[in-house]
Chains A and B, each alone.
Chain A
Amino acid sequence: MSERTPFEFTLSLGDDALIAAQRLAEWTTRAPEMEEDIALANIALDQLGAARLLLTYAGELEGAGRDEDALAYLRDDRQFRNCLLVELPNGDFAVTMAKLLFLSAYQLPLYTALAECADERLAAIGSKTRKESAYHLDHASLWVKRLGDGTEESHRRMQAAVDQVWPYVAELFAADPGAPVDPATLRAEFDATVAAVLTEATLTRPETGWAPAGGRDGVHTEHLSYLLAEMQVLHRAHPGAQW
């Protein structure tokens, strides 16, 4: 990955949050119980809130007149900078919780570090979003423990989910020394958080082998295109429409 501009760095964080929000919102009316339906919709809303702040700021950094809506709705897949992890399909509930555990265990130290960074706008956003990420991490941790240390079937499926999603973790921590927060510096805290949860959940952390990447350079899985088609169709069909 080449060194990114402040615009690209902010855009990548905003895209992570936006795509995670869209995926989580797919659970609405489909979650295993009503409380969980509400929880996932709430977490999606938090991610969307973070995405709006980050994309608005990214647009200002770029200086080309693009606002949050232009960035969210009028870019094609190759112009998105989100990590592959967030665009992966939801799978079963265990896969969704594995994804949320890894995402929130990454976002919490990221936003916490941003809150102390020299960029005032990013610091303000980080100081706000880190509080919400703590709840997301807590929620995902509870479910991973409950399923991992549950029945034989829930344990099997939770371990399978962790194994399936784990390869996509490596991309989150690709070094970016010029960024306000270098993601590589967050890896140790992530590993400690995830190890504690997996141990309590009686789950095994997979070995890191295959490590797909490319999201930060706009090279995505085929899943992103379908997600964008659904997310963008209304805006593209009715440009400038308002409620």
Chain B
Amino acid sequence: MNPREAAAAVVDPEIRVLTIDELGILRSVDEDPATGRVVVTITPTYTGCPAMDVIRADIRRALTAAGHPDVEVRTVHAPAWSTDWISESGRAKLAAAGIAPPQPVRPAGVVPLTLSVRCPRCGSPETEQLSHFGSTACKALWRCRSCSEPFDHLKAL
């Protein structure tokens, strides 16, 4: 397997239905043809994301298993990760896993509160935000008023 494919197949440890490629945090994979050394560049979703160490370890493990033991994982912060980088397949997988995908990002400033998020279970737009913050740094907690189920929403960033 080439290094790009191996790194792209690593799943996010907190949202295990998505690969780091679909989540948009895999920025580049470069192999030096002379030495075989692979440099993988990733960016965090949130500055304090506790999953980053696990992701770095998983990338090294995946590349070693694919025959590329000489791996360097670099972390960059600019340009800052945006939920707009989540792929279409990633959005579909989030919804299928009961996590409402993010809306397109609004201009900078205070986040508007009047956005409607569709319930990922029953599809109803009759939902309400319970908290800006959820089970991980990238999610908010919502509830559906139609089917009464609480659900996670990957908040636009």
Q: Which residue numbers of A lie inside 8 Å of B, CB to CB?
A: 35-36, 38-39, 41-43, 45-50, 52-53, 112, 120, 123-125, 127-132, 134-135, 137-139, 141-142
A38 with B133, Cβ < 8 A, contacts A45-B50, A112-B108 known: yes
Query: Are A131 and B157 CB-contacts (below 8 A) given A38-B133, A137-B110?
Result: yes
Task: Given A38-B131, A38-B133, A43-B133, decide whether A128 and B47 contact each other with a Cβ distance below 8 A.
Answer: yes
Are A45 and B48 in contact, CB atoms less than 8 angstroms apart? yes
Are B141 and A35 touching (Cβ within 8 A)? yes
Complex interface: stretch among B34-42, B73-81, B114-122: B73-81
Contact of A49 among B46, B141, B155 (CB under 8 A): B46
A39-B132, A128-B77 known; A141-B110 Cβ under 8 A: yes
Q: Which of B47-74 contact A (CB under 8 A)?
A: 47-50
Q: Which residues of B contact A128 (CB under 8 A)?
A: 44, 47, 77-78, 80-81
Residue B135, interface by CB 8 Å: yes
Q: Is the CB of A130 within 8 A of B108?
A: yes
B120-155 contact mask (Cβ, 8 Å, vs A): 1 or 0 = 000000000011111101000100000000000001
* Chain A residues near B108 (CB-CB < 8 A): 112, 130-131, 134
Contact A135 B132, CB 8 Å, known A38-B141, A128-B77, A128-B78: yes
A124 engages B78 (CB within 8 Å): yes
Q: Which residues of B contact A (CB under 8 A)?
A: 44, 46-50, 76-81, 108-111, 113, 130-135, 137, 141, 155, 157
CB distance from B28 to the nearest CB of A (A): 16
- List 12 additional contacts besides A46-B48, A125-B77, A135-B111; criterion CB under 8 Å: A38-B133, A39-B133, A45-B50, A49-B44, A50-B48, A120-B78, A127-B77, A127-B79, A127-B80, A131-B80, A134-B110, A135-B155
Instruction: State which of B48, B50, B80, B109 has its C-beta within 8 Å of the C-beta of A47.
Output: B48
In angstroms, Cα B109 to Cα A131, docked, is: 8
Taking a contact as CB atoms under 8 Å apart, the answer to whether B133 and A52 are in contact is no
* Contact partner, A39, options B46, B111, B131, B157, Cβ 8 Å: B131
Expressed in whole angstroms, the Cα–Cα distance for A138 and B132 within the complex equals 9
Docked Cα-Cα span, A137 to B81, in Å, equals 20
Q: Of the candidates A45, A53, A141, A142, which one forms a contact with B137 in the assembled complex, judged by CB atoms under 8 Å apart?
A: A45
Q: Supply 10 A–B pairs (Cβ within 8 Å), ascending by A.
A: A45-B48, A49-B49, A125-B47, A125-B77, A127-B79, A128-B47, A129-B47, A130-B108, A134-B110, A141-B110
CA distance A137 to B135 in the complex (A): 20
Cβ contact within 8 Å between A46 and B77: no
**Residue from A42, A127, A130 having most chain B Cβ neighbours under 10 A:** A42
Separation of A41 and B132 alpha carbons in the complex (Å): 12
Assembly CA distance A227 to B150 (angstroms): 37
- Asked whether, in the complex, the Cβ of B49 is within 8 Å of the Cβ of A38, the reply is no
A49 contacts B48, C-beta separation under 8 Å: yes
CB closest chain-A residue, reference B52:
A49
- A213–B77 alpha-carbon span in the complex (Å): 32
Most buried by B among A120, A135, A142: A135
Max chain A Cβ within 10 angstroms of own Cβ: one of B49, B78, B155: B78
Contact B80 A53 (CB under 8 A): no
Closest to A139 in B: B132
